[in-house]
Amino acid sequence: MIRYAAVLLLLLTAGCASAPVPEAAQPPVVTTQPAAPTPAATLAKRPAAPRVAAPRATATTPVVAPRTPAKPPVAVPPAAAAPLDLNALEAQLRATKAIGVFTKISLKNQVDDLMKQFREHYGGKATRTMSELRRSYDLLIMKVLSLVQDDDQMLASAIVSSREAIWGLLSDQTKFANL
């Protein structure tokens, strides 16, 4: 059975290869580009405007269709930022099932260490610069986001939206003192 299929396949391919196709039988290759819309078609799509008598076209002056003024873009007001509630965010972190108990304890220790570094920075014991503190803060936020993003998207969204506001509290010495 396989031999017959192989022979049949061989005959079909040999038959196609040996029969030359005459030039006249091949369709001509024509490349076309989409035609540009005519001015009448373009004007038909536009809303009706008052008609103005167009000047007659001569051999040296082309007829130009009058343009309608473009509408100015509509300004969309930015969404108001929700007020930052650190206590609610902390309660959501404690209550989420996306992070295990031991991981929560580890994160709490890392937050405490970061807060201690900020206190030392503002106390004059400059062990770390503000850019190093920002890097530590960003790494901690990214770690928390990676832990909750799959299982608790609402919490991940709340963390992302409050990320800069929290940094604003940490990076300002007077706001940090009020925490």
Token digits of residue 51: 């008609």
| C-alpha dist (Å) from residue 76 to 73, 80, 161 | 9, 12, 20
State residue 109 phi and psi, 5-degree precision: -65, -40
Stretch 77-103: mean pLDDT: 78
User: In the chain, what are the domain boundaries?
Assistant: 99-178
Contact 121, 130 (CB under 8 A): yes
Quote the DSSP letter at residue 101: H
Cβ atoms of residues 136 and 127 within 8 Å: no
Q: What is the pLDDT of residues 33-69, one digit of tens each?
A: 555 555 555 555 555 555 655 555 555 655 555 565 5
Q: What percent of the chain has pLDDT over 90?
A: 39
| Average pLDDT of the residues of the chain | 74
